[in-house]
Amino acid sequence: MKFAAPPYMLDKLPYPPERDSWRHVARWRAVERIFREVCRVYGYREIRTPVMESTELFCRAVGEGTDIVGKEMFTFTDRGERSMTLRPEGTAPVVRACLEHNLLSEGALAKLYYICSSYRYERGQRGRYREFQQTGVEALGSQDPAVDAEVVSLAMEFYRRLGIERTELKVNSVGCPACRPAYRQELLDFAQPRLAEMSEESRTRFTKNPLRMLDSKDPKDQAALDTAPSLLDHLCSECKTHFEAVLEYLRALEVPLVIDTRLVRGFDYYTKTAFEVTSPLLGAQNAVGGGGRYDSLVEELGGPPTPGIGFGLGTERCLLVLEELGVQLELDRETPDVYLACIGECARRAAVPILHGLRTSGIYAETDYSDRSLKAQMRSASKMNSRFVALLGDDELAKGMCQLKDMVGSEPQKEVNLADLA
């Protein structure tokens, strides 16, 4: 029987594969390194949460009426008869952990970041997987629109540092529990007579989650809702003032953006600011990241009233865009410093402690374990791009020396005392 990775869950590989070089782990590390560095200068600390949580957490946080909870979660019953779900997103687990470990104190802002795998049972395609990684941040404890601007600009700075150009930042306000219900009703009244022309999906959303009809990419829905009332025209004064302040800050930071009154993200927890970053270089799955404010979520999950805002950025999609752009990431060096080529049984035996000594001195040292000819060992060293080759035969061994050959520079081969090799 042949085994394969689960559908739409990808192995990331130790060497650059011929196709899809973005699956080379070194590239992932490079992206993660840049994300960590950007988070560091913005003052965000890393948090790690388990890969699964109680199903109830996501039902409450993300919302029963959403696609994620309704049809995309990997849910199972564990051996203790608990319903568990592989995290479909990072925000709810972070809020849960903050409450469990008292990370939220009044008047203080908790600024957290994470790099985590997420799981959604979606129809797979390029850029859409069932296991994917998000780099995300959450800032909990402030209503200040300057925090919205900080979070958005952090995301944009990350793309800039990566070398991802031509992204589009779309921003909207989805209102709050004070102003949304009236808008929701107006939208329902507007859509009702047009339902027959709309897609099946939008008809379902009409009853379950009407605002999401606005987000539909189906041209039929877009035509039917073309003149629909706009959420932005229905914001209460608090949401309106907040949105204007966010825009003002972002303009002051010279972050280019478009206001997209149709942007309604697929989670029930959002209030006020919602944003998404897209790239024209991806096909249908063009969102490289998204986020927004969630001022009621902490309370919803049993905590004290605590506003929050954050984002999640898809690592696969970032890497796909980088590949499209041909951006050379700065990868960790994975080539040996020295390859110990041995001639004969004695040398091979002596090589074991020599290698150990080099490695414990922090030198990346390789050798051959297949008893191959010197020629074959030299070929290996050169294929691995080893910086040096140290040749060890009976003669050298007797003198406590080896022959050191520079594989890159033009320095002539020289004899080096084994004690000084490191």
CB of 339 to ligand HAM, least distance (A): 39
Query: Total residues at the site for ligand HAM (CB under 6 A)?
Result: 24
Q: At 123, which amino acid appears?
A: R
Comparing every residue's Cβ against ligand HAM, the nearest one is 314
Q: Which of 84, 109, 287, 407 binds ligand HAM (CB under 6 A)?
A: 287
Contact string 70-89 vs ligand HAM (x = CB under 6 A) = -------------------x
Our finding on whether 63 is near ligand HAM (CB under 6 A) is no
| Residue range at the interface with ligand HAM (CB under 6 A); choices 121-129, 174-182, 298-306, 330-338 | 121-129
Contact string 89-118 vs ligand HAM (x = CB under 6 A) = xxx---------------------------
CB of 122 to ligand HAM, least distance (A): 5
Contact string 290-329 vs ligand HAM (x = CB under 6 A) = xxx-----------------xxxxx-xx------------
52 vs 341 by CB, closer to ligand HAM: 52
For residues 130-159, which are near ligand HAM according to CB under 6 A? 132, 134, 136, 138
151 vs 378 by CB, closer to ligand HAM: 151
CB of 148 to ligand HAM, least distance (A): 11
Applying CB under 6 A, the residues found at the interface with ligand HAM are: 89-91, 120, 122, 128-129, 132, 134, 136, 138, 287-292, 310-314, 316-317
